[in-house]
Amino acid sequence: MIDLYYWPTPNGHKITIFLEEAGLPYQIKPVNIGAGDQFQPDFLKISPNNRMPALVDWEPADGGAPLSIFESGAILEYLAEKTGKFLSHATREKYAVLQWLYWQIGGLGPMAGQNHHFSNYAPEKLPYAIDRYVNETNRLYGVLDRQLAKMRDSGGFIAGAYSIADMASYPWIVPWTAQGQNLDDFPDLRRWFDTIRARPAVERAYEIGPKYRTETTLSEEDKKVLFGQTASSTATKA
């Protein structure tokens, strides 16, 4: 059995998509990040960066003691290796996927995340910051669209076959309106997005969120917990 420490955000959805696609049994351990659950000492033992998702596999692939992992990319890679699904063992195919997985983790996620922050949550509307991240998100959408155009006749997904690279990027395209983007400007991204959205496992993954969180925007209390964290403020909470 796998315990998934989860809250319905783009990074959380990545892992429920994988688990639903692979049909692995799992139980959700909700981490209400607006209420500060990510600072609970037991959670910090698993995820020292006070971020979800995190995972504990009670029956790990190596047969050893329970294994905990934080960072969504590492979790996706682990689950893919454990199940033999959505990531090839063959060197070229494997790195075709991993380069795009890391592109999402290091590029699309952080840039779109800052876009959400400055466009939707920052108390001041700072045009320079908003333009910077809306434009960078736009550039990354263009990169992804061109890659998907190349793959149109060889599987249609980011690295050809459906993989953990697609599962990582898809949840960050879902809020495209809030990111100031127009999906219709990116025809291959639109095709890919509609294909993934229609997958039954993805539909199931997105049905989990509202069981834990009905509000889709952050309250003022949530913002106080989430924004302005420093080394000393998070250390005292731990």
Ligand X SMILES: N[C@@H](CCC(=O)N[C@@H](CS)C(=O)NCC(=O)O)C(=O)O
Nearer to ligand X, 182 or 216 (CB): 216
Distances (CA, A) of 124 to 102, 110, 133, 180, 183: 31, 20, 15, 17, 27
Give me the residues paired with residue 54 across strands.
5, 70
To the nearest whole angstrom, how small is the minimum distance from the Cβ of residue 224 to ligand X? Answer: 11
To the nearest whole angstrom, how small is the minimum distance from the Cβ of residue 63 to ligand X? Answer: 26
Answer whether the bond into residue 53 is a cis peptide, omega within 30°: yes
To the nearest whole angstrom, how small is the minimum distance from the Cβ of residue 53 to ligand X? Answer: 6
Length in residues, the chain: 238
Nearer to ligand X, 11 or 115 (CB): 11
To the nearest whole angstrom, how small is the minimum distance from the Cβ of residue 218 to ligand X? Answer: 11
Nearer to ligand X, 19 or 105 (CB): 105
Nearer to ligand X, 72 or 181 (CB): 72
Nearer to ligand X, 75 or 130 (CB): 75
Site of interaction with ligand X (CB under 6 A): 9-11, 33, 38, 50-53, 71-73, 105, 226
The widest CA-to-CA distance across the chain, in whole angstroms, is 54
To the nearest whole angstrom, how small is the minimum distance from the Cβ of residue 171 to ligand X? Answer: 9
Listed in sequence order, the DSSP H helices in the chain are 10-22, 41-46, 72-83, 91-103, 109-116, 127-150, 164-173, 187-197, 200-212, 220-226, 231-237
